[in-house]
Amino acid sequence: MVPTILVQYLLLVCLVCFPATEARVRHYRWKVKWEYKSPDCYKKLIITVNGRTPGPTIVAEEGDTILVELEDNLLTENLAIHWHGIRQIGTPWFDGAEGVTQCPILPGETFKYRFVVDRAGTYVYHAHYGMQRVAGLYGLIRVSPRHPEPFSYDHDRSIILNDWYHKSTSEQAIGLSSIPFVWVGEPQSLLIQGKGMFDCSKVTELGVCNTSNPECSPHVQTVVPGQTYRLRIASLTSLSALSFQIEGHDMTVVEADGNYVEPFVVQNLFIYSGETYSVLVKADQDPSRNYWISTNVVTRNRTTPTGLAIFNYYPNHPRRSPPTSPPPAPAWDDVESRLKQSFAIKAHQGHIIKPPPTSDRVIVFLNTQNTINGYRLWSVNNVSFNLPLTPYLIALKKNITDAFDQSPPPDGYDFLNYDIYSVANNSNAKSSNGIYSLQFNTTVDIILQNANTMNKNNSETHPWHLHGHNFWVLGYGKGKFDMYNDPRKYNLVNPIMKNTVAMHPYGWTALRFRADNPGAWAFHCHIEYHFYMGMGVVFEEGIERVGNLPSSIMGCGQTNTFHRH
């Protein structure tokens, strides 16, 4: 017993003294406001942080505390920011999901987010109120480790990918909420680090579009020949799944959503909204010229032009165009290549966290489109989600039982009779704000089951994001999930852990996580328009373990009489 006690004591000492001697508070002051900008040469109102989009990058080391003083200068709009990939252990009220963990920040208010970045990795932040992410409110979080990583490189760089619309988010939201339904359509541009290039010849209005505007000059990544670069790539698209490539260069994938990957090489990296990857790229090509960085829409029959940037070999001029045409894009409907990448992502051999061998509960989520009371909506198990006026975390902690529907949503659907390949009637579909209660510290399996939309022969790709947790990706499959045979194929040896994962057309994705983080947590499709239309759920776990809620998150719904400061 003595050696065991000694080891436990030494471990405790290390855990206690380590953050106390090295952790820091990283303090940021941000002003969020509307400004006229031209990210793709077309001038429109966008949301900026300190005058920029993407906003400032948060740079920290694991164990540091992040303090963001956020001033809402949007004049007529509320605000909330989600720290995507940060688990918010002990601070569930600062997750930033309006309606789930907090009331929105009101115009003119300053709100303080304070949380610990407990793991190294690449993460993002973005608006989580209405569809403000579409308007440009997003940025990167880069957390460095305090221990050696299982790969080496000379330089650390970042790129955020996004799709870009010229219509305002208000106009888009009204169309999605109208009878008849008005879809947003395909994006006008793809942005690489906030820069794109729209064909201004398509614009007749004078002064609106200008290709000589420096705001839309191509993004440049300057590299030194022979050096190796860690490129952190994040996608915050509103709709599009993307491919990413650097002309003539291989990319070695080494990190996904903050977790180390057993390295594998790609020429095209497929990336879905909400995902982050680190790839290693060696500047080992002809140094006398520059090369294209390109991104293209996949999974949808693309009409959006290729997004372009420049991979600049020093000392060539950074604006010198490559002498070649951009590399051809992968076929938009090549599901097999995307599945191949999904299967290739495994936990690094030296950093495997094995999942529990079995689960305590299995929930199957059928993803479908529905018509409910004449409105086109997305739903999960024929329930279309909508947010209550009183945030769940507050309602649960304060025992406000009439704040949302107390009836739990279903754990599955009619497995036997439902045809995932046909346009279903779904006459039993409804809207609800009921939530899933998970027993604390239990293991939960989620099966994401894809199906046909309201259009014939159409099944869309959906990236699902879980707040407050990482999950193990146990497997993918085609067709309808077989609850008896498919679990036998699960990867329980070295599954990757992620916070966002794709569900492929007419297929399924299996996840496992521990319900060990007290709070109320959103789980939703990260396509902005799909979540807006009801494609999401909320889990609650261990609410009795949540500490005292700060008054700053209150002030809306049935908390509008609570003191807020």
Residues 436/363, Cβ–Cβ less than 8 Å: yes
- Taking only the tens place, the pLDDT of each residue in 114-162 is 999 999 999 999 999 999 999 999 999 999 999 999 999 999 999 999 9
pLDDT, tens digit (0-9, with 9 covering 90-100), for 511-520: 999 999 999 9
Is 560 a domain residue? no
Domain membership of residue 84 (yes or no) is: yes
Q: Are 505 and 335 in contact (CB under 8 A)?
A: yes
Domain edge (last residue) among 305, 337, 369: 337
Alpha-carbon distance of 290 to 293, in angstroms, equals 10
CA 301 to centroid of chain Cα atoms: 22
Instruction: Indicate whether 452 and 333 sit together in one domain.
Output: no
Q: Which of 58, 61, 254, 235 is nearest to 153 (CA)?
A: 254
Are 88 and 206 members of one domain?
yes
Q: What was the pLDDT predicted at 565?
A: 57
Distance CA 526, CA 273 (A): 6
Percent of the chain with pLDDT over 90: 93
7 domain-assigned: no
Whole-angstrom Cα distance, residue 274 to residue 526?
6
Confidence band, pLDDT 50/70/90 cuts, at residue 564: low
Identify whether 74 is part of a domain.
yes
Query: pLDDT band for position 23 (50/70/90)?
Result: confident
Burial (Cβ within 10 Å: 0-12, 13-18, ≥19) of residue 364:
buried
Closest CA to 271 of 191, 338, 200, 349: 338
Res 83: pLDDT: 98
DSSP result, 112-148: EEEEE--S-EEEEEEE-STTGGGGT-EEEEEEE-SS-
Same-domain status, 186 and 228: yes
Summarised one tens digit per residue, pLDDT across range 221-266 is: 999 999 999 999 999 999 999 999 999 999 999 999 999 999 999 9
Number of domains in the chain: 2
Q: Which two tokens stand for residue 480?
A: 């309808």
Residues 94, 164, single domain; the answer is yes
> In what helix (H) or strand (E) does residue 531 lie, and over which residues does it extend?
helix 528-532
Q: Examine the pLDDT at 17 and tell me if it is beyond 60.
A: no
CB contact set of 113 (below 8 Å; sequence gap of 6+)? 66, 67, 68, 70, 81, 83, 94, 96
Same domain, 284 and 402: no
Residues 171 and 302 both lie in one domain = yes
- pLDDT mean over 411-437: 94
Question: Does residue 202 belong to any structural domain of this protein?
Answer: yes
223 and 329 fall within a common domain: yes
Distance CA 33, CA 39 (A): 16
8 A C-beta contact, residue 172 and residue 165: yes
Q: Average of pLDDT values for 32-39?
A: 98
398 and 327 housed in the same domain: no
Structure tokens at 170: 């208000």
Q: Is the pLDDT of residue 11 over 90?
A: no
Q: Rounded CA gap, 276 and 161, in Å?
A: 10
Split at pLDDT 50, 70, 90, the class of 3 is very low
Q: In this structure, are 406 and 319 located in the same domain?
A: no
Paired sense of beta strands 220-223 and 276-282, if any: unpaired
Q: Tell me, what CATH number does 197's domain have?
A: 2.60.40.420
Is the backbone of residue 105 left (phi > 0), alpha (psi -120 to 50) or beta?
Answer: beta
Distance (Å) of CA 149 to CA 226, 266, 354: 21, 21, 19
Please tell me whether residues 395 and 538 are part of one structural domain. yes
Asked if the structure places residue 151 within a domain, the reply is: yes
Cα radius of gyration (the chain): 23
Tell me, yes or no, whether 321 and 377 share the same domain. no
Rounded to 5°, the CA angle 326-331-333 comes to 150
Whether 307 and 366 map to the same domain: the answer is no
- As beta bridge partners, residue 81 has 127
Any idea which of 34-48, 58-72, 358-372, 550-564 has the lowest mean pLDDT? 550-564
Residue 12 placed within a domain? no
Q: How confident is the model at residue 183 (pLDDT cuts 50, 70, 90)?
A: very high
Segments forming the whole domain that contains residue 449: 353-547
- What per-residue confidence (pLDDT) applies to 560? 83
- Return the SS3 of 7: helix
In a domain, 175, yes or no: yes
Contacts of 68 (CB under 8 A, 6+ apart): 28, 29, 30, 58, 81, 112, 113, 114
Q: In which band, very low, low, confident or very high, does the pLDDT at 426 lie, cut at 50, 70 and 90? A: confident
pLDDT over 90 (residue 19): no
Residue 212 Cα distances to 36, 301, 324, angstroms: 16, 30, 22
For the chain, give the number of residues. 565
Q: Give the H or E element holding residue 529.
A: helix 528-532
The CA–CA distances, whole Å, from 405 to 357, 360, 370, 401, 534 equal 34, 25, 20, 8, 15
Structure tokens, 510: 């299996």
Cβ atoms of residues 31 and 15 within 8 Å? no
Q: Of 54, 95, 94, 495, give the one whose Cα is nearest residue 234.
A: 54
Taking the C-alpha atoms of residue 174 and residue 181, their distance in angstroms, rounded to an integer, is 9
pLDDT at 561: 75
> Residue 13's pLDDT is what?
39
Cα–chain-centroid distance for residue 362?
24
Averaged pLDDT score across all residues of the chain = 94
How would you class 484 by CB atoms within 10 Å of its CB: exposed for 0-12, middle for 13-18, buried for 19 or more? exposed
